[in-house]
Amino acid sequence: MVSFWWRPLGIVLGLAVLSLLLSGQFGTGSGWKLFVGGLGLYLFYHLRQLQRMAQWLARPERSPVTSDGVWGDVLYRLDKLLRLRQGAQQKAAADLEQMLEATRNLPDGVVILDESNRIQWLNLAAERFLGVSQERDLGQFIPYLVRQGRFVEWLNREDYAQTLAMDSPVSREKHLSLQLVPLPRLQKMLLARDVTDLARVDAMRRDFVANVSHELRTPITVIVGFLEAFDDMPDPSPAEFRKHIPLMREQSDRIRRLVDDLLTLARLESEPETKDETVDIPALARRLASEAEAMSQGRHRVTLNLESQSRLIGNSQELYSALANLVSNAVRYTPAGGHISLAWSATENGGMGFKVSDTGEGIEPQHIPRLTERFYRVDRGRSRASGGTGLGLAIVKHVLQRHQSKLRVESTVGKGSTFTAVFPAERVIPGKRPDEQAIGE
Ligand SMILES: Nc1ncnc2c1ncn2[C@@H]1O[C@H](COP(=O)(O)OP(=O)(O)O)[C@@H](O)[C@H]1O
Ligand SMILES: [Mg+2]
């Protein structure tokens, strides 16, 4: 900084003193000549430096010219400033590129539109959801590409608070939720979100509520019908009332069973994991076999084949509820005289299977994949007549899933069905085969 002012001033003053001395010695003319000549040279030096600087500034990416004195100082500062700015610019460009890259791969579709709805930029999800293409459609009017009337009308309304729900122009299976976001310079951002899964869950929830209401309405109507009839009787006799109790009880049982199953499902859904313990499946199987006999009331032959004494790691209550459902189905869907057999045996890869076979009516193949859906029944009337809720196999599937296990269904119409709960090796606590047990053990 010091050299900045004092050095040029010193040079000019020195020149002036030298000229004065010279004019004293050789006359004023020589003094002036020296002064003007010296100033001229000094000016030429500065102009030359200025020119070099101008040349460098035209292409500052080259290494800067070196100089001393005032110019050295100026050039050093200028160079530092330029490099600082260059660094900031490079960082801003890298940040922008990173942002664009992230937006390009966003799971939501993003399209930037100008004030007349021409496409400025779009990301990969937008290509997939809206069928527009970064390569082909830049600069195109989006209403010409996404032609659904509702979309065009919504876009023109420019109501930033209102979303639009529509099917994807690419596939009617895909449901989208669109939103507009204002951007600077009259541009706007069109956001497209894939809400297919949400829509599916919503539809399932609606179906479920409709099904539950429908299932409950019939028994409630029956009971209310009787109550109203009695209420209308001027002098109802106890005998008259008693006559209808069995039917009312049957309908109340139906409601209770439905509510019980709904609660079981709700509990399974609300508790993310099973509380594991050791479950003595052979003991559980004996209990289920005697329950099957009780349910059958002598109409079927019930057999139990315990090929293994292995136990399971799992939740005994949940497993009881699942396996009891399989057993009660076998009893209910097998005509009198049939045979129901339960078996506990090893499956492939060290797993175990709980098998419930019947010689019942069997199930046509097209129904099998849907049996575990809530309220799905092959024969609604038959299921109801035998006290079914249509939720049993949904509970079975849920319980088995929580035990990393699977339900296997094999069936032949007219011959019978076999439902097997297949448990993975990780849940098996191996036990001896019964014939390996020492007597008296
Ligand atoms: N052992 C079986 N034999 C024949 N059909 C069966 C058997 N088990 C289940 N099904 C069929 O699967 C449907 C769904 O079973 P489930 O979910 O337990 O409901 P439900 O309460 O009707 O028994 C039943 O309505 C029935 O049509
Ligand atoms: Mg059932």
pLDDT tens-digit map of 324-343: 999 999 999 999 999 999 99
Which band of pLDDT confidence, cut at 50, 70 and 90, is reported for residue 438?
very low
Give the pLDDT of residue 434. Answer: 57
* pLDDT for residue 433: 59
Ligand 1, residues 325, 328, 393: which to mutate, most atoms within 8 A of Cβ?
A: 393
Lowest mean pLDDT among 51-60, 108-117, 125-134, 417-426: 51-60
Atom 25 of ligand 1: nearest residue by CA position: 377
Assigned token pair, 41: 């040279």
Q: How far is the CA of 277 from the centre of ligand 1 (A)?
A: 29
Residues 312/428, Cβ–Cβ less than 8 Å: yes
Tokens standing for residue 425: 């090796």
Q: How confident is the model at residue 439 (pLDDT cuts 50, 70, 90)?
A: very low
Label residues 46-73 b or e (16+ Cβ within 10 Å = b): eeebeebbeebeeeeeeebeebeeebee
The residue whose CA has the least distance to atom 8 of ligand 1 is: 329
How many other CB atoms sit within 10 Å of the CB of residue 113?
21
In degrees and rounded to multiples of 5, residue 35 shows phi and psi of -60, -50
CA 377 – ligand 1 centroid, Å: 6
Contacts of residue 384, defined as CB under 8 A and 6 or more positions apart, other chains included, come to: 254
Q: Would you state the pLDDT for residue 387?
A: 84
Q: Are the beta carbons of 178 and 151 closer than 8 angstroms?
A: yes
* Ligand 2 centroid from CA 203, angstroms: 24
Residue nearest to atom 22 of ligand 1 (CA): 390
Query: Ligand 1: which residues within 6 Å by Cβ?
Result: 325, 329-330, 333, 358, 360-361, 363, 371, 376-379, 383, 388-394, 417
Domains along the sequence of the chain with CATH: 2-99 (no CATH), 105-194 (3.30.450.20), 201-270 (1.10.287.130), 277-436 (3.30.565.10)
253-279 per-position pLDDT tens digit: 999 999 999 999 999 999 888 899 999
Q: Using CA atoms, how far apart are residues 333 and 378, in angstroms rounded to an integer?
A: 11
Q: 441: pLDDT confidence band, cut at 50, 70 and 90?
A: very low
CA–centroid distance, residue 313 to ligand 2 (Å)? 24
Which ligand sits nearest to residue 390's alpha carbon? 1
Neighbouring residues of the ion ligand 2, judged by CB less than 5 Å: 329, 392
pTM: 0.69
pLDDT classification of 174: cutoffs 50, 70, 90: very high
pLDDT at 145: 94
Distance CA 344, CA 433 (A): 11
Q: How far is CA 220 from the centre of its chain?
A: 39
Q: What is the mean pLDDT of the chain?
A: 91
Report how far residue 168's alpha carbon sits from residue 146's, in angstroms, rounded to the nearest whole number: 9
User: Tokens 């007219």, residue?
Assistant: 414
